[in-house]
Structure 1
């Protein structure tokens, strides 16, 4: 079961000795309310339900609200606290400009990332656990942060387990990554060496898998795609009630400043005769305030950071959900966990993304809404939505369920363990 932030339990060790054993390394894990926590805890739940003995070695971020309340029973979680470097380089809300600049400087100088001291402590915790528990058959790390891969790799080597590098984002050429210029020449070499040391490399979209195969051809045979998926139990939005006087749109998550352009949607909303309101949850307050000033005819409200359960309820109550992926070639490969949260709500999705992107293909292929950056197309979609509304989808496509995707990973691991 899950334990106090600095404590551990050993219930998993008391399970059947014949069960296969999986250790998961993840810096993000509940109760930390960060999108990366969802994939890691879903893996722990899935493999536990399938009869594996699961042990999680997780970070305990102090910079993110501890509001991801969820069931952690059936597997053990061993939390490792933040180091001084990680605490000091985290972008906590409410910090002054000097503290923010210090955090930025520390991140620029930290390599491979500012989580490395925590990852090293995670490796030490794993080494201690190996003295107490049977060795795992599989050690899986989910990144970002990328430094957790090194901790998992070294642990797998120590006990002779398979090492699986699960990647929610690329690292070396990620334009959102803060790093000093003199480190950039090292990044690709480090990424290649790290992924080459893995027995299996997992990506969350076909575009990302194709990127890895093209960038590192020697790794092509061990790259697989395991998308995020809709978790069981979040697709319960049958109580949506439409307000005929107002079209309510919801965005949950970070906006990333100028890297993610939401203005085509806002311009389209201004053209609509019906009143449009957009609620932002967990977005940067200064960006939301600027959008509200630039588009006064749209009722833009900053709802702040809220517990995950509240964000899911807001999604269910919306007339449509906004996703901003970006249009750079790299961003065409993104298939974020947020998309699957949205799919679970059953509400239509307005994605500011290229139609041919991985996200755009999923939205079009399963008729989940619209993916475009064209203002006219968005305006037409909003007009139809305001005039007729759209009923919630009552069922999640089987291929988009989390269990379906994780079965792909389990089947591959089973075959590797047998061979």
Structure 2
């Protein structure tokens, strides 16, 4: 194809919304445009409470479509926002009942049906149809979900001839989500829709080999694994001032959400309890610093082993502050998904790859995707559920921290930059239109397991 490739990226999650999903879709638009494509991004008009990740639209055109859900759903949205962190009288903020329901089922949370963005589909589709009628059809429409609603827009454009090809990007599984169960009877409708969408797409992308395995059972379209990745510049521009106090304590840092249905940090606390008994001087210097919307769950988990005093809750913090915590930590904790066969690969892992602190992975086993990537990159230690082994590493962290430092494989780490991962998908999109992806594709492909 001699002219620039015209791509429409449909994604409700996009800057300035401060989510890991926005980081992925922004990287797609940014790097596809820089590679020579003409990229339009179709997204929602963001609400006042959805800011914080402002980014320039230098290599693409941004089109925000306003919408308002029915009154009852808008009321539910306000209740969900208010219930995300409900303070206790005697302790840190706890998740409210509505937030716990949403976390368990995925409804109104960009994963399962219903979703508030359902009211956005009609005006978004109308804009896209008018744009295609005025400027000509797109070569490719890419719908990045969740929520599933983006695929309604993409499907309509493909079936009406306003887009020549359709790519469905699944950041999470939908019907087969390993922890978000959905709500009956919407689950029946979801199964029908997923079958329909996957029958008509030309290409599917997702974030891990495990999720790709599930999707390949559902579609005859090719499935590409495009990891979430990290941006080196995010760390280069951080405030150099220390984010953690210089008080002689050794801090293990965890940033992000904890999903209790799939992640279990209790082996860490069992190990800390063992250290307290065997080497109390080491225990006195250990702290687990947690930042994120579910930080309040950690003291309760630690209390089961009598070590809640070692947990420091920072709550939800701006992303630059979370990155500084990672940079300044003695070690970074990642809690692996306890069923490796689910193929869950948290986006937080890739941020951790770019931090200087050693990574300690807790949970699952050596067959997990996180264990494989840590082995490829040389960035840390996968400790599984072995309490004795975890305890030994904690003692080393306090008494001889240099022994936990590894020699990372710099090229393997660079494989997981957002630029390289985004360009891998761009090459696959190019192949849909002219079958001639550039040589860069092989260089950017991550190592096979």
Match among 357, 374, 396 for residue 347 of structure 1: 357
Match among 269, 277, 294 for residue 287 of structure 2: 277
Equivalent residue, structure 2, for 1:304: 315
Deviates more, 1:86-95 or 1:69-78: 86-95
Match among 357, 370, 376 for residue 359 of structure 1: 370
Match among 344, 357, 379 for residue 368 of structure 1: 379
Say if 1:20 and 1:51, in contact at 8 Å, map to a contact too: yes
- The secondary structure found in structure 1 opposite 2:166 is strand
1:247 is displaced (CA, Å) by 1.5
Match among 336, 341, 348 for residue 338 of structure 1: 348
Correspondences of 1:10-49 after superposition (within 5 Å): 18-49=3-34
CA distance in 2: counterparts of 1:356 and 1:101, whole angstroms: 30
Q: Does 1:383 align with 2:383?
A: no
Once the two structures are superposed, what CA deviation does each residue of 1:181-215 show, in whole Å capped at 9, x if it has no partner?
A: 333344333222212211101121112212222x2
* TM-score in terms of structure 1 length: 0.84
Deviates more, 1:179-188 or 1:30-39: 179-188
Say if 1:269 and 1:379, in contact at 8 Å, map to a contact too: yes
- The secondary structure found in structure 1 opposite 2:252 is strand
1:368 is displaced (CA, Å) by 1.7
Q: Does 1:209 align with 2:220?
A: no
Task: Call closer, same or farther: CA 1:162–1:363 in 2, change over 3 Å.
Answer: same
CA distance in 1: counterparts of 2:151 and 2:127, whole angstroms: 15
Deviates more, 1:114-123 or 1:168-177: 114-123
Task: Call closer, same or farther: CA 1:121–1:176 in 2, change over 3 Å.
Answer: farther
1:248 is displaced (CA, Å) by 1.0
Equivalent residue, structure 2, for 1:266: 269
Say if 2:106 and 2:181, in contact at 8 Å, map to a contact too: no
CA distance in 2: counterparts of 1:99 and 1:283, whole angstroms: 14
Q: Does 1:418 align with 2:430?
A: no
CA distance in 1: counterparts of 2:222 and 2:68, whole angstroms: 34
CA distance in 2: counterparts of 1:154 and 1:323, whole angstroms: 40
Match among 328, 333, 336 for residue 322 of structure 1: 333
Task: Call closer, same or farther: CA 1:103–1:207 in 2, change over 3 Å.
Answer: closer
Deviates more, 1:193-202 or 1:272-281: 272-281
Task: Call closer, same or farther: CA 1:313–1:106 in 2, change over 3 Å.
Answer: closer
Structure 2, gaps ≥5 residues long: 87-95, 276-281, 436-449
CA distance in 2: counterparts of 1:380 and 1:61, whole angstroms: 47
Once the two structures are superposed, what CA deviation does each residue of 1:125-163 show, in whole Å capped at 9, x if it has no partner?
A: 322333444432111111111221221221233313211
Task: Call closer, same or farther: CA 1:137–1:283 in 2, change over 3 Å.
Answer: same
1:24 is displaced (CA, Å) by 0.8
Deviates more, 1:397-406 or 1:30-39: 397-406
1:403 is displaced (CA, Å) by 2.3
Say if 1:265 and 1:375, in contact at 8 Å, map to a contact too: yes
Task: Call closer, same or farther: CA 1:61–1:387 in 2, change over 3 Å.
Answer: farther
CA distance in 2: counterparts of 1:143 and 1:315, whole angstroms: 28
Correspondences of 1:8-407 after superposition (within 5 Å): 18-62=3-47, 65-81=50-66, 83-84=68-69, 87-90=74-77, 91-94=80-83, 107=107, 111=113, 113-158=115-160, 159-213=162-216, 215-216=217-218, 218-219=219-220, 222-236=222-236, 245-272=248-275, 273-274=282-283, 275-284=285-294, 286-291=296-301, 293-294=303-304, 295-296=306-307, 298-331=309-342, 333-352=343-362, 353-371=364-382, 372-390=384-402, 391=405, 395=410, 397-407=413-423
CA distance in 2: counterparts of 1:239 and 1:383, whole angstroms: 28
Structure 1, gaps ≥5 residues long: 1-16
- The secondary structure found in structure 2 opposite 1:92 is helix
1:61 is displaced (CA, Å) by 5.0
1:383 is displaced (CA, Å) by 2.1
Task: Call closer, same or farther: CA 1:51–1:259 in 2, change over 3 Å.
Answer: same
Number of residues paired by the alignment? Answer: 399
* TM-score in terms of structure 2 length: 0.78
1:240 is displaced (CA, Å) by 10
Task: Call closer, same or farther: CA 1:373–1:63 in 2, change over 3 Å.
Answer: farther
